[in-house]
Structure 1
Amino acid sequence: GFKAAKRPKMSAHKSETPSRAKSKATTPSRPSAPPSANSLKALKARLWDVYSTYLGEPIPPPPGDGGLKAAVVRALSPVSNPKFSKMSGIQEWKNCVALYVNVGDKNGNTYENVFTRAGSQITWFAQPRQNEESPVIQSIVATRSMAEESVEDAWRRAEEDETAPKYEDWPLHLFCRMEGCEYVYCGRLKMVDYDPRKHPMKFNMRLVDAPLLRTSEHFLGLVDLADADEKK
């Protein structure tokens, strides 16, 4: 879980009597335990491999394994069988945050997380328990001021200088799907703006790789669903 989830408990102590509050203040807080070796927070996602292989493509599970989110984790993970929550739409890795978004259900109805501006942006809502102090939210907000590099530039650098890092890890990535379908890797996200007054917080984010994604029929299928719903 995120550290921010514990903050409401701290605010609840304000109503306590001064004597109780004082006695608790003298007790040093215990540091949070480090993540286990095979948890996602301890693992560096293989972003370049996924970026160069699956951009605009669905990530299929192995034959006989229907785990759709597990298929993405397997593609990203440097180890086999890492521990992760199948329910959470937000994954914190050591080097990035991965967002899992359903843009529509099996009947073609869209959800609140939806593409806008012909697929160049997406509206995304944080979890209700998250606030501006949550580490994952701070990671998302930090992308607003980051300089970006196109995949073509990354390839060119790798070809010109083999010692150069193939790809500078980008900290925020998007995986989208229709409900029940395989996740399509939609590349890097960069925050445009957000509204901290809304609960849950509402974010507008730009798809850094939108120009390349528009050549993908899988991506365009997800965007067409959103556009069709907006025109209703």
Structure 2
Amino acid sequence: MWLLTTDRAELKWFARPPAKYAIISHVWAKDPLPREQSFQEVQQLNFECARSGENPRSFVCEKMKRCCIIAEAHGYKLLWIDTCCINQMSSAELSEAINSMFSWYAKAAICYAFLSDLVDTEAPGSPNSSFRSSEWFRRGWTLQELIAPSDVIFLSQTWMPIASKRTVAPLLQEITGIDAGVLLGTLPLYKVSVARRLSWSSGRITTREEDEAYCLMGIFGVHLPTI
């Protein structure tokens, strides 16, 4: 498992998830700018800064930098974000990451969900709020990223904390159809019918067709070889 150090945005390898780390949930940028940085790009940046003596965190993309700063401010030294903590050039690492994703989110001390379309001047529960209509709730992968962590802090487009999973569980149930008990951890997933769990993914989209299956593996407790 690759993790970023929050103080320097340096990639570190761990044979198993450490005791305390933060994890990020987000929707990948669609436009050419701001562009998401890959594992190879961050690794190369780490090498270059090691030679120059500069802090690589100063040169990573804005999203990555902000995530590191927020996690560090909350006392977390390690951070996982899918854009750069998965070596997608390695089929073995990619397969392991896809099969381990639910577990990694579940074991994280905290999950930060960055909603780039969330306005911080609105109450999340107000009618027609940007929270209710956020694209984050319509993506396939964010389903398990909402369910698995013990808590999720929702960050607005200006990186302000707006709400947490625990404080707005009834609202999240209204938006997503996921039982509040599941979100709060009082209702185990295995006690929820397969049909109901499958219904939570209705209307959610993924970039690749095969991801429609991959993003549900953790919710159903299965492991599959990836294409």
TM interval, short-chain normalised: under 0.3
Higher Cα radius of gyration: 1
Normalised by the size of structure 2, how large is the TM-score? 0.26
* Structure with greater proportional strand content: 1
Larger RCO, structures 1/2 (Cα 8 Å, 6+ apart): 1
* Structure with greater proportional helix content: 2
Normalised by the size of structure 1, how large is the TM-score? 0.25
